[in-house]
Amino acid sequence: MSDHKRTIVVTGGSRGIGRSICRSFARADNYIYFNYFSPGDPDAEKAAAAETEKLISEAGGSAKSISVNIASENEVTNFFEKIIGETGRIDVLVNNAGITKDALLVRMKEKDWDDVINVNLKGAFICTQIAAKVMMKQRYGRIINIASVVGVNGNVGQANYAASKAGIIGLTKTVAKELAARGITANAVAPGFIETDMTASLPDKVKTAMLGQIPLGRAGKPEDVAAVVAFLASESADYITGQVIHVSGGMYM
């Protein structure tokens, strides 16, 4: 075990899978930092982030949250400067923040393509680049990227999202190769159909069709994904890098 408190950074920790990931790290010997961002309803998002902080504190940990647009290099740089100023380290980075803006290819607007790629892929790149510089000096780091089964299989209506998640997998494998010699691992977790706000708004017909593709016969829970992220960040996973672990009830084999 490490002889210092570990600094854990999770993007998009206010809700859904990110909140569960933050909770899985809720221990007295971890500093947890997470961000969130919603231009739509800032008060609701602030309340969601405060709820995550409360859940972590009830579980014996402590967390700080900041509203940061993951697609903005300036905002992300300030976020990491604050963390490094306070703890001096980044032990674990979980690139979780993600959005969807679905449309069939021929109807997809350029802005919706750009928004999804900027948040899901460029955001992960910016965070990884900043964190990697700190991790390289430490000669230690765990980078875990949340991909999707869709990044491997494709999905009707999600050209932007599927491309972003396939990109995340390529980013993960490249980072794993470039940083392995410095004691840094990089892995991706590819969830299938998980019950969160992101999937709640899908039409019932789509949900039923997705459930029909899951051999284990149920949608996943955010905790199913968080458990694998916690494992990949633990010393039990020290010899695993460059992998994509599917958490999809067998949706993809």
Q: Tell me which residues touch ligand NAP (CB under 6 A).
A: 11-18, 35-38, 45, 48, 68-71, 96-99, 119, 146, 148, 191, 193-194, 196-199
Min dist. Cβ of residue 150 to ligand NAP (A): 7
DSSP per-residue string spanning 37-102: --SS-HHHHHHHHHHHHHHHHHTT-EEEEEE--TT-HHHHHHHHHHHHHHHS---EEEE-------
Cα 240 from chain centre: 18
Three-state SS at 23 = helix
Residue 39 CB, shortest distance to ligand NAP, in Å, is 9
Which residue, 3 or 204, is less far from ligand NAP as judged by CB?
Answer: 204
Q: Report the run of H or E that residue 226 belongs to, with start and end.
A: helix 222-233
Tell me how far, at minimum, the Cβ of 213 lies from ligand NAP, in Å: 13
Q: Is 161 a catalytic residue?
A: yes
Tell me the CA distances in angstroms from 57 to 32, 33, 54, 203, one per residue in order.
Answer: 11, 13, 5, 36
Q: Is 7:85 a contact under the CB 8 Å cutoff?
A: no
Comparing CB distances to ligand NAP, the nearer of 187 and 196 is: 196
Interatomic CA distance for residues 230 and 232, integer angstroms: 6
Considering the candidates 31, 33, 36, 161, report the single residue annotated as catalytic: 161
Helix/strand number for the chain, H first, E second? 10, 7
- Reduce the DSSP state of residue 196 to 3 states and report it: coil
For residues 34 and 140, which CB has a smaller minimum distance to ligand NAP in the complex?
34
User: Whose Cβ is closer to ligand NAP: residue 2's or residue 77's?
Assistant: 77
Nearest distance, CB of residue 18 and ligand NAP, angstroms? 5
Of 31 and 34, which has the nearer Cβ to ligand NAP?
34
Q: Is the dihedral of CA 223, 229, 232, 233 positive or negative?
A: negative
Residues 6+ apart with CB under 8 A from 110: none
Residue 181 CB, shortest distance to ligand NAP, in Å, is: 28
**Residues labelled as active-site residues:** 161
